[in-house]
């Protein structure tokens, strides 16, 4: 995930999301990738986190933070990931609702609404 070639970085993040292993080392690597400057890497890190099914507080907080990403595809994928994880955990929907309420005046509130939509459909 730290290779100089953006294609290799994004492919690595995507591949990690297809593993059946959501070890703490994998999760930490993806969480780190979610905060990098490379928007393609952030996108695939969000995809991977949603696919791995780890609904820890650390993952949920990072994905909620990604709803503020300056890159729309990253925000969308963070919402999708929260929706996927919400199917595995009852604690996510109230956190997303709380996030929406706290950021109702934000230009990014639509990302939270997208996440909530993914949780209820």
1, part of any domain: no
pLDDT one-digit tens code per residue, 3-19: 888 889 889 998 988 88
Expressed as residue numbers, the domain containing 89 is: 6-120
- Contact predicate 85/53, CB 8 Å: yes
Q: What is the percent of the chain where pLDDT is above 90?
A: 37
pLDDT one-digit tens code per residue, 77-94: 998 899 888 866 677 888
Q: Which pLDDT belongs to residue 63? A: 93
3-state percent breakdown (helix, strand, coil) of the chain, nearest 5? 70, 0, 30
82, part of any domain: yes
Q: Tell me how many domains the chain contains.
A: 1
Q: How far apart are CA 85 and CA 36, in angstroms?
A: 22
48, part of any domain: yes
110, part of any domain: yes
* Average pLDDT of the residues in 64-77: 90
We report the CATH number of the domain holding residue 33 as 1.25.10.10
């Amino acid at each position: 995930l730290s290779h100089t070639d953006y294609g290799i970085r994004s492919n690595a993040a995507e591949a990690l999301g297809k593993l059946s292993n959501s070890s703490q080392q994998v999760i930490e690597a993806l969480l780190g990738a979610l905060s990098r400057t490379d928007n393609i890497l952030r996108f695939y890190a969000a995809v991977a986190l949603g696919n791995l099914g780890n609904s820890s507080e650390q993952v949920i907080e990072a994905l909620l933070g990604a709803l503020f990403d300056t890159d729309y595809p990253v925000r969308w994928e963070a919402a999708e990931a929260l929706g996927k994880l919400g199917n595995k955990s009852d604690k996510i929907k109230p956190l997303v609702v709380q996030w929406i309420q706290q950021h109702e005046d934000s230009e990014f509130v639509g990302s939270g609404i997208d996440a909530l939509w993914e949780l209820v459909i």
